[in-house]
Every structure is written in structure tokens, then in C-alpha cells.
Structure 1
Amino acid sequence: MANISRRGFLGLAGLGAAGAVGLGTFGRAPWGTWYAAADALPEYLAGTTLEAVATPLGGSGYRALTAGPGWPMIVRGELAGAQSGREERRRVLASFVQLTDLHVVDAQSPMRFEYVHPFTGSAFRPHETLTTQGLVSLVSRINSLRGGPHTGRPFDAVVTTGDNTDNKEHAELGWLLTALNGGTFIPNTGAADRYEGVQNSGADLYWNPESPIQDMYKKAGFPEMPGLLGAALRPVTSPGLRTPWYSVFGNHDDAISGTLPNGIPLLENMYTGSLKIEAPNSEQARAIGSAASSDPSAIPALLSALTTPPRVVTPDASRAPFTPRQFIAAHLDPANTGPGPVGHGFAPDAGESGIGYYSFEIAPGVVGISMDSTSRAGGVDGALGEAQFRWIEQTLQAGSSRYFDDGGRPVTQSRTDTYFLLFSHHTSDTMAELTPDPENPGERRYTGAQLVQLLNRFPNVLAWVNGHTHENRIAPRPGPTPAQGFWEINTASHIDFPQHARIIEVVDNADGTVSLLTTLIESDAPYSVPHGDFSATGLASLYRELSFNDIHMEPEEMGASGDHNTELVLPSPRA
């Protein structure tokens, strides 16, 4: 799978064909002997994918969606066996929601590379003018749930694991914070009275919804929708989350287009400039995409050599890119506290220090560790600096009654085990970007594989929860002994289909095991509305439908049955 095509700007992926694969073929493999269907579904199904799942109508071409059968509950016992009667014995410890890869997009920004999408699918999405409407619909879904479907426990927290914004713009950050905290905002930059982006360019490269031009998307079955672009720029009102939420850095919150190093003057100036490149010839577009992965310093010369005249658009200072310190400072601003906590996890002095990692109490006895896995030197993938890596180790040691040192020798302490869950944007296999940190060039960088080795030393680490790949994938990470394993839980994005978020409930089964109960949820938008319905819910519905029909949609991002609604069993460190 070419994950890179949906993780960021880099990478070359062939064009897919929307609708070429039926929903029933999604996933990597059928479940095997370590999967088992649960004996009974939980009590609170409503609003989750246990109840219903977006399912396409018809077998080919542009397709509407409808409510299909809910997904089963799957018990996974690779790390510990599931014992009978545990449902009656278990005690709930925590319940929270993971959001990831929201990619709130300023679709009209001059600092975008939409024209490379034939080679890198994530550079342009036909639904990207509707990211804020889709996010508000997801917020409404979370608010509508009484809590975890298995336990009914009200949510203790919501954690958004990075790529909160698409292109690190102050405008995008403002929309994100208002959507999560509550309030009204206008998802528009540039001209106040009109859309000025590629979707009314008349170029064959893009879906032009308000034009009869037979662009490459209409040739794939996309309809005309007069009035859509104007509707997308109308004020949006969000109820805001009712649950305290925590923020994690992603590469799109840190690097230009989620990939390019900061500090390239031409690119920095393009954000707030008046010239937008829309449709260079394919050879020039391919050269720019290739330079982004191999030699970003060549991009200014390539842009300057373009022969196709750029579009003149209305400049806007709110498009200016933010720094990591400004991202943190915006979260710490009292105006953005919403349901709390103040700073949404970031320490009071983090706006000055730039430290983007922290720990927080999810529930009594259950602690989250939020990591900053991004590369300050740019790049799609990530790693951890030595200071952060050692801080994680020390935090785990301080909450453990027993663990193993780096030589594999057991260490015993007189304290009660804290249950730990770790959160990051990157996954264990997308953390090998070892380019030195420009602010700390001499600091050692650590890979995802090294972090797995560290976490395997602590039996009270239950899970590492992340995003980045835009794919549902759950994998066991066994250690040298059965007690040392943990689960890695990777969740699909909310910009690409299937547009999921994930509920995770932590329970003690009172039999020497702990279970993580994972349930995927969709936004509360209807599965289908008439194409002329430009109400808030209608636009959110269209956001999902267009994402399914995107010509770059990757069916494998849905994941397999064992990556959806699961019970993940592991030994209890307190047994």
C-alpha cells in the first residue's frame, strides 16, 4: 500500500478508480484463529459502527452511501486469553475518544500544491472545502453518545492525535479550535464574497462542481453542484465538545504541506501572497513533486521557472504559517480553553519552551503520555529526540511497581502500578526520520522500533494509540515475556474515507487480564442527502460521500474486521 499518498505531500501513487471495489472487499485478510466473534454485542450500540456503517449503493461509478449492517465485535487474544464470564466481573477504568488526521483545510491558500495530485493523491481532494462542516458533525456525534458502548461510562477525554490542520496556517488553527471548543466561524480566506481556489479554475485536473466542464472527476461520474462553493464558505456553528480534550502534534501541524522544511523564503511568502499556481503542465508538476521528496531546496527554482501564469487571488494575512510555539500558545490562550483543560495538555510554559509532549490523567490510575513525534527539519515521518525519549522512560518508571531495565533485568518498587496509554501522530513503522533537529542538532533521535523496545520493558503499558497512515490497523506488540506486550492501535483519518474516530474503554476483567474495548464511530451526518441540500448536515453528508468517491480513495484504509470493533485482551500488571 502506498500509505505515503495519504500521509502527506510526498510520494508518488498511481491513480485509483473510485468505486472499483465493493465495501465487502475492504480489508487485508479474513480473521484467523486469534480472532473470535464476541458472544454478545454491548448494550449501547446507537451512534456507533456496531449499529450501522456507511455502505455504497450500486457496484460501480459514482455512488451514494446508505446505512449498512453494523460491524461485529471481535475478541483478539494474541497477548492473553479471554476468560469466560469476564463481562460480569469487569470494572471500568476509563473511557475516551481518539480523533486523528482531521486536516482542517484552507482550500484557497496560495501555498498549496494541488496540481501534483495525479502523482500524490493527497495534494487535492474533491471534498476539501468541507473539512470544517465534517468536523462539526463529528463533534456532534461524540456529544450525542452517553459514553462507551460497552460500559456506558461518560467519556473522560478526547485526544486528537495530530494533523489537526492541513498546512499549518493560523486560519486553519483558528477554525479547528473553534470547532472543538464551540462557537461560530467563517471557513473562508481571501475574498469575503467569493471562492478563489482550484475548484472554479476550469482546469481539467480538478472537480469543478459549479461548471459543466467535463473535468477528470466528472468523467469519473462526479456530478455538477451549482452553489456548492458559496455554501461551503458560509458561517459554521459548532456546539463544541462537552468533554475535556487534548492535542497532539502531527507533521501537518509542523511542516509546510506536512513535508517540506520551514524557512524556505519563497514558500513562506506564498502563504500570504496573491499568486496561486493552479495548473502547470504535467512534466513541471511531476518535477516539483519529485523535488519535494529528494531535494526541497530545488523547489523555488522550479516554481520560478513555471510557464503557466498563476491566478491572482486576494491575499490574506490569516494564512500565515504558525510555528510550533505559536501552535502551543494558541491552545494555551484562555479564549481557547473550551471544555478544558487549560492548554489542552500543553504545559503553561510550553509556548516559550516549545516542548510539545506531556502526560495527563485520563482517569484515576490511568495516565496518558502525549508524544511529539514530528521532525522539526521537515519530512512526512517522525522520530523522538533523546530528551523526550528519556522523559518517557522516567515517567513510566515513576508509575511502575515492576519493570525491566535496558538489560532485561527486573526492577521491583513499592508502589501501585499506573496504567499507561501513549499517544502520538506517527506509528511504530513511520518513525525513522533521523534528520537532526535544527534547534538541537547534536541530540540523538530514536526510531519507532526503539520506542517499542522501551515500552516492552513496562508491563503496565497497555497501548500506543496513533494516526498518520489514515488506516485502521490494530497490532499486538509482544515483549520478551507475556506480561510485557501491549497493543498498537492505529485509526483512520477524518478527511479520507472511511472518516472514522475511535472510542476506547479500559476495563479490568478481575481475572488477571485487562481489556481495551475499541469501537469506531462516524460523524452524525446522514449517509445521503439530495445534492442540492446545502444545510450544515447536508454539507457534512456530502463531505463523506465525496470522500468515498474520490478517485484517489484507498480501500485498504478501511482495515480488516480485527481492526474495527474489538476487545483487545492483555495480562494485567496488577495480577
Structure 2
Amino acid sequence: MHSRSGRSASHIDRRGFLAAAGAVGTGLALGAAGSAAADEPVPHTPGALPDGGAAGTETAAAPTGAGTTLASVATPRGTGTYKRLGDGPGWPRVVRTELAPARADRTRRRTTLASFVQFTDLHLTDVQHPLRYEFFRAGGEGAWRPHEALTLPGVVSLVERVNKLRRGPATGTPLRFVITTGDNGDENAKIEAEWFLTALSGGRMNPNTGDPRRYEGVQNSGLKLYWHPESSLRDQDKAVGYPRIPGYLNAAMRSVNSPGLTIPWYSTFGNHDLLSGGCYPAAGSFITDVAVGGKKLYTISADEAKWLMDGELHGVDPKGKRIEELLRKHKKELRSVTPDARRVPLTQRQYVGLHLDRKYTGRGPVGHGYTKDNLDSGNLYYSFRVSDRVVGISLDSTDPGGHYQGSIGTAQLDWLDRTLKAHRDEYALVFSHHPSWSMNNTVPDPSRPNEQRHGGDEMIALLQRHKNVLAWINGHSHRNRIRPRGTFWEIATASHVDYPQLARVIEITDNRDGTISLYTTLIESAAPHRTDYHDLSQTGLAALYRELAFNAPGNDPTLVGEATDRNTELLLKR
């Protein structure tokens, strides 16, 4: 969930508030993931490259911005309300010196410490799920995404972009891994987790849940509240220029093939990966029965939608009692859909168990950061080897007690402190779903009711005590935002579901002059900027996914961030 800044308090928009809440030369070594369940952290040893070569043997190529937003960015064309996209100029790289000076000739001396990609907020979505919260749209136009049926071709095109890119645009160093920073699925449904694992590891995905013969979502419901791409119904999205595209739903429900990433990848947990709608505890609650059942609520009144969204915004209903009440109230209005057991919500252990299934290993590592210790403990935090001079630490900032904002418990905070101390002689990168400004959730963890929850200010203070921390990298807010934190940089990246649909390449260099540089470069999917409504191929749908997202009613144009939040060089003293 996320919040939209710059809006009046009286304007409640569910999708909106969910978006603001919120020296190894040039080679990198990858090793086994560390155990988050151990009482004390164990220092890692460098491992071999995924192709079996020795670390440091693969040399850098000449840096190039080709295939990134340095070269070109999707840009709107025309003057109408609904705009087509085309090729536009790239975004320049901005050097930021708030934490250290940019010394001359640093690029001639530097050695690369890390080169990798961050994915965040993919939100792979079962659009026919009985408990999709499309009905929130009655309270605000931005509370439902008209384009979300295309999340699968969209993520595959992002995978294709990374596979084509291969090297960091700032240093030319080979990309060594991808790490997600949460909200990999949307509704905490087993099928969405399986799509995520398949998309990144490779294989075929079938988005058509429920009845395999027909679509059962809101986009052929006859309700003007939603875009009906195949009919002549004058719905509220067509009224602002959304097109009629015959065959769209059949194409959107068609199987999607992913080549999988050609480099290893790691997984971080987000609130949508555990909580229904990113807000409500799902597994073992009333939500489980609704999710796998055969009844679906398609619409409610505007007042009801605003009441529900207000409860989410202020965290007054972390258990989803208002949703439960609403479903009872509208029992006679529920429409029949085809039950599907694959929509069952997952516990933390079940989520880890899927990651450890070897059919989802792809380029590895097995578990994608999670280990048997995580499975046994139910903890979703761990450390892993980035290179022989850099350790990565993946946190779990989701509060199992409910509410879309984040926090971490005392046990995890203490583990983080111990892990950073154990790696005091190395550099550290910290990854989480929630950014500091979205960590204010004090709802108790039901499994640890007496444990204190800790927010963003405490996280910043802890990381500042450890001078080996270079960056805290996160998502959740669906917004590009980079902030100096005294001794490290906090880097938040926009989602790949709401426009501008981006991921981020991060390269880290030792400049050998007492400074470190963190280069951040945004990338779009490999789909062309221009769309063709007659092209309903997998690539054509990925291009359409971007254009529909750009035109989504209620879309927040500030999510792209300022130039200082996009393609940057971030300097640090070391």
C-alpha cells in the first residue's frame, strides 16, 4: 500500500495513499546466503561466479547507457486526455555531493565493488481473485488499475531487459544478481507467488485462474466503474480516452513464457506478500475462505469505499473487520465465480518453502536467499554475499499484525546490529521493502505479542552507528526518492506496476581517493515505447501495459521523482 503526497486530506485514494506512505578489480563473487535464524551471524566467504568461473576474472567493457533511461525514456505524444507513448530523451546522470566531494579523475582510479539490479513492487496480480479490492474504485478513480491484467507480460519484459543489458551502464561491469525488494505478488495468493518465482527463474505461467474457459473479473461485468476493453460500453475509462481493443481479455488471460533471469536473484518480503490487499492478515482468517471460494463482490457505494479506505489510511482496522462486515452486508449481491484452491493465502513458512522448491531455482541460489533455517524459524531476514568486500542484508519490514505501513521487531533489529558488527571490516548494503518514512506501524506481531516494534527513525539511527553501511535500498512507496542519511544513502525506487514502471541498476565503486560512489541508473522494460492495438503478442501486451499505466486515472505524475532521485552518482566518504 502507498500514499500520495500533495493531495488534500479530504481526497482519499487507495492506490494513491498506498504509493507515498509511503577490490576485486571489476568482478563480483557470489556466495551462499547466510542464515537469519542463527543466534549469531557467521561471516561469509566469497563463492564462485554463477558460470563456475573464478571471481574477478571477467573484465569490464566500455560503459554505455544503451538500454537504460540515460539513452531514452517513454514520453507522451499528442494533446488529448489519453496519450500514446513514444521514444523520448533520456534522463542525465546527476552527481550528488551532500556526503562527500567529487574529486577529479576518480573514474580513472576506481575499482568496482558491486554491480546489480533492484526490482521492486512487481505486484503480479490474479485479476479474477474473489477478494480483489476493485470495489474501492467507487471511492476514488485511482483505487483500481485498469492495466493490472498485464502484470505478467510486463514483468517478463523487465526480465528480458536485464538479460539484454548484461553490464552496468556506469562501469561496464557485468551485472551479478537481481534483488527484489518486496510486493512481488499483490494479494498473498499462492498462485501469485508461483508466478513470481516462475517469472524470475523461467517457465510458463497461466494467468487465467478460476474457469479456464472464460474470464470472470470486473472488466466484462457490465459495470461502468471499470474499463471494458472488448465491449462498446461507455465506461468511465473510455470516457477519458481508453481504447476499445477486441480480443484483449483473451490475450491477457493467455499463457505467458519467461526466459528467466540469466543471473542469480534474491528475494525480499513485502506487505502484499503476506497481507490481503497489503493490509489484512490473510492465512487462517476469514479471508482464506473468501479467497478460495466462489463468491465475489464487484461494487459498493462511494461512501462505503471511502469508509474502508479511511480505515486503511489511518490503520484503525488492521484485522480487516470492516471488510468482513461489508461482505456480510452485501451477501445477496455477491456474484458467483469459479473457486480455485491455488488462491489460498500463504504463511511466512509456506512462502519460504516455495522459494526452496528446486523447480524455481533458475540461476540460483537455491531459496533465493532463504534457507532451511528461515523455513524452520519463520523469519524472513537473511544475509548474503555481494562480493568479497560487500555483504548484503535483506530485512523483513512487514508487520504480520496488519496495516500497510512497516516496522521490525526487536529480535530482528538486534540481529541486524550483530550482523553489521560481524562484518565491520566489510561494506554493507541493507535491503527492505519499506522505506524509513513508511515505517511507523506499531501493531503487535500476533506470534510475538510482547515484542516491541521499531520504526524508520530507529533504523536510521542504528545504521548510522555502523560506518560500514553504504546504502539502505527499498521500495513500497512506488516513488523514486534518494535521501542522504549522514553516513549512508537511502535509495527508494518506483514500482513496476504504477507508471513510470522502473527498476534500478546500482553500481558501487571504490574511487581510491577516500570516497565511494554509488551509481544508480533506472531502466524500463524491453517492450517498445510505441504500442499497436492490433499487436496482442506477449511483447505487444508489455508495451500496452506501460501505456495503460501512464494513462491510468488517478495516476500520480510525481512518482517519477526529481532528477536527483533518478540517474545519479552518490558520493560517500570512506
Give the TM-score range, shorter chain.
0.7 to 0.9
**Cα displacement (A) at 1:132:** 0.4
**Cα displacement (A) at 1:291:** 4.4
Whichever residue aligns with residue 189 of structure 1, its letter is: T
Residue 519 of structure 1, aligned match among 512, 521, 527: 521
Match of residue 498 from structure 1: 500
Alignment deviations for residues 215-255 of structure 1 (CA, whole Å, 9 cap, x no partner): 11011111111110000111111000011100000000011
Residue 294 of structure 1, aligned match among 299, 309, 316: 316
Match of residue 402 from structure 2: 378
Could you tell which deviates more after superposition, 115-124 or 207-216? 115-124
Match of residue 351 from structure 2: 327
Aligned equivalents of 1:364, 1:395: Cα separation in 2: 16
Alignment deviations for residues 10-39 of structure 1 (CA, whole Å, 9 cap, x no partner): x9635999xxxxxxxxxxxxxxxxxxxxxx
Residue 475 of structure 1, aligned match among 460, 475, 483: 483
Cα separation, partners in 2 of 1:119 and 1:283, compared to 1, 3 Å: closer
**Cα displacement (A) at 1:172:** 0.6
**Cα displacement (A) at 1:289:** 3.3
Aligned equivalents of 2:75, 2:332: Cα separation in 1: 41
- Report how many aligned residue pairs link the two structures: 522
Match of residue 151 from structure 2: 131
Match of residue 146 from structure 1: 166
What does 1:278-293 correspond to in 2, within 5 Å?
278-292=298-312, 293=315
> 8 Å contact 1:274–1:314 — kept in the other structure?
yes
Aligned equivalents of 2:84, 2:489: Cα separation in 1: 35
What does 1:223-262 correspond to in 2, within 5 Å?
223-262=243-282
> 8 Å contact 2:118–2:181 — kept in the other structure?
yes
DSSP 3-state at the match of 1:342: coil
> 8 Å contact 1:15–1:118 — kept in the other structure?
no
What does 1:58-137 correspond to in 2, within 5 Å?
58-119=78-139, 123-137=143-157
Match of residue 448 from structure 1: 456
**Cα displacement (A) at 1:336:** 1.1
What does 1:346-425 correspond to in 2, within 5 Å?
346-400=370-424, 417-425=425-433
DSSP 3-state at the match of 1:343: coil
**Cα displacement (A) at 1:340:** 0.5
**Cα displacement (A) at 1:261:** 2.7
Aligned equivalents of 1:542, 1:442: Cα separation in 2: 48
Residue 436 of structure 2, aligned match among 410, 424, 428: 428
Cα separation, partners in 2 of 1:120 and 1:248, compared to 1, 3 Å: farther
Aligned equivalents of 1:350, 1:308: Cα separation in 2: 43
> 8 Å contact 2:128–2:216 — kept in the other structure?
yes
Residue 365 of structure 2, aligned match among 337, 341, 344: 341
DSSP 3-state at the match of 1:539: helix
Cα separation, partners in 2 of 1:388 and 1:122, compared to 1, 3 Å: farther
**Cα displacement (A) at 1:285:** 3.0
**Cα displacement (A) at 1:305:** 1.1
Aligned equivalents of 1:330, 1:455: Cα separation in 2: 31
Aligned equivalents of 1:122, 1:470: Cα separation in 2: 14
> 8 Å contact 1:15–1:552 — kept in the other structure?
no
> 8 Å contact 2:219–2:226 — kept in the other structure?
yes
**Cα displacement (A) at 1:283:** 2.9
Determine if the alignment matches structure 1 residue 461 to structure 2 residue 466.
no
Cα separation, partners in 2 of 1:291 and 1:264, compared to 1, 3 Å: farther
DSSP 3-state at the match of 1:475: strand
> 8 Å contact 1:491–1:502 — kept in the other structure?
yes
Aligned equivalents of 1:153, 1:340: Cα separation in 2: 20
> 8 Å contact 1:5–1:13 — kept in the other structure?
no
> 8 Å contact 1:525–1:541 — kept in the other structure?
yes
- The CA RMSD over aligned residues, in Å, is 2.0
Alignment deviations for residues 456-499 of structure 1 (CA, whole Å, 9 cap, x no partner): 11121100000000000001001xxxxxx100000000000000
Aligned equivalents of 2:205, 2:381: Cα separation in 1: 29
Aligned equivalents of 1:68, 1:469: Cα separation in 2: 25
Could you tell which deviates more after superposition, 294-303 or 547-556? 294-303
Alignment deviations for residues 185-228 of structure 1 (CA, whole Å, 9 cap, x no partner): 21110011111100111111111111111111011111111110
Aligned equivalents of 1:204, 1:96: Cα separation in 2: 44
Aligned equivalents of 1:188, 1:476: Cα separation in 2: 44
Cα separation, partners in 2 of 1:124 and 1:246, compared to 1, 3 Å: same
User: Which 5+ residue runs of structure 1 have no aligned equivalent?
Assistant: 18-41, 401-416, 479-484
> 8 Å contact 1:93–1:508 — kept in the other structure?
yes
Aligned equivalents of 1:524, 1:308: Cα separation in 2: 45
Percent identical residues: 50
Whichever residue aligns with residue 183 of structure 1, its letter is: G
Aligned equivalents of 1:375, 1:120: Cα separation in 2: 26
Cα separation, partners in 2 of 1:399 and 1:449, compared to 1, 3 Å: same
Alignment deviations for residues 306-340 of structure 1 (CA, whole Å, 9 cap, x no partner): 27722211111111111111111100111111110
Residue 197 of structure 2, aligned match among 177, 186, 206: 177
Residue 315 of structure 1, aligned match among 339, 352, 360: 339
Whichever residue aligns with residue 346 of structure 1, its letter is: Y
Aligned equivalents of 1:348, 1:99: Cα separation in 2: 24
Match of residue 291 from structure 2: 271
Match of residue 482 from structure 1: none
DSSP 3-state at the match of 2:333: coil
